[in-house]
Amino acid sequence: MSYHIISIAGLLYVLAMPVYIVYVLTKNNKLGYLATATLSAGCLIHIYGFIQRFKEMYAINHSFMRSIPITNLYESLVFFVLCLVIGYLFIEWKYKNRSFGVIVSILVGIIIGLTDLLGISKEVQPLVPALKSNWLLAHVTLSFISYAAFALSFITALLHVIMVSENKKSLKYIFSTSVLSIMVFIFISMIIDIATASNPRSVRIFHSTLGNQSMFISVLSWIFLIALVFIFWKFGDFITKTLKGLKINSDFLEDITYKGIAFGFPIFTIGGLVFGAIWADQAWGRYWGWDPKETWSLITWFVYAFYLHAKFIKGWRGVKTSMIAVSGFLITIFTYLGVNLFLSGLHSYGSM
């Protein structure tokens, strides 16, 4: 089955992570090549698994255009990760820079791992009527390519904000440590959600923490979250010093952030909004209906439009624009996953 092959790719992504860490710490070129080779091997196996998934879809749908495996949450995550890894490897090859390979390998390894642990359905099923449109290929494919570009810009932007933040009373320091602590809390919460779920398919984000039915546990979770934010704020300067010790070039991070958004924004505009509206007209008989996914897609578009506007019209540079890029991807994540998990709408086929 294709998901077994893709799981092997996820394992290689995880294995690439410690190699990247040791490489960044030692700057040993042989380890650098080994890290790249491990991540590349995972990518090639991932591509092979994606092709096998396509064949499984084709055996059911008997249509080339409608067999692209991007029709449910599992397949979209798999495709998103594939785009993310290919995008990172391209940057690494073009700029000869492996400075944020650690973050990418951690992120993609966790995502592939969670598709197994969270019990997300991996079954190959016939398309629901709303998905039987060739516009689906253009709309969803381009949307996830842009998401991957935004994800790369998020990683470099967050690293950039952390590197230039030392004053604990500054907005950028509070912003970066808050984002990091909340991400750590979400990860811990998901692990507890998985461990306490009686059935992997019944896992719901925050069901065991913030959204627990017990008022005591819910309040305790909020206290833990606030404490975590305080701990990161208190000791966040250690992360800043560590990154500076690695001699990562902040100009390089800012440049990649800009290029990721400049690449992803027009693709998202055409694929996510324009083609999405055309598909909506075919599927539901109207171009725009303020469905939660449509509304949050528009909000995402405005945030990245503001980033580019601030960059070119206002002449903003440095950490201000990086903070917008970080915020933009957090909204993108909610548009991609949060809307499906927490809100109802016509895109419900994207749920677990």
Q: 347 pLDDT exceeds 70?
A: no
Of 241 and 174, the structure prediction assigns the larger pLDDT to 174
Residues 207-235: b if buried by 16+ CB within 10 A, e if exposed:
bbbbebeeeeebeebeeebeebbeebbee
Of 153 and 207, the structure prediction assigns the larger pLDDT to 153
Q: 351 pLDDT exceeds 90?
A: no
Q: 78 pLDDT exceeds 70?
A: yes
The vertex-327 CA angle with 242 and 182, nearest 5°, equals 60
Helices 135-163 and 73-95 meet at what angle, rounded to 10? 50
Q: What is the mean pLDDT of residues 217-238?
A: 89
Under the banding of pLDDT at 50, 70 and 90, the label for residue 138 is confident
Residue 132, classified by CB atoms within 10 Å of its CB into exposed (0-12), middle (13-18) or buried (19+), is: middle
Please report, rounded to a whole number, the percentage of residues in the chain having pLDDT higher than 70. 92
Q: 107 pLDDT exceeds 80?
A: yes
Q: What is the mean pLDDT of residues 25-51?
A: 91
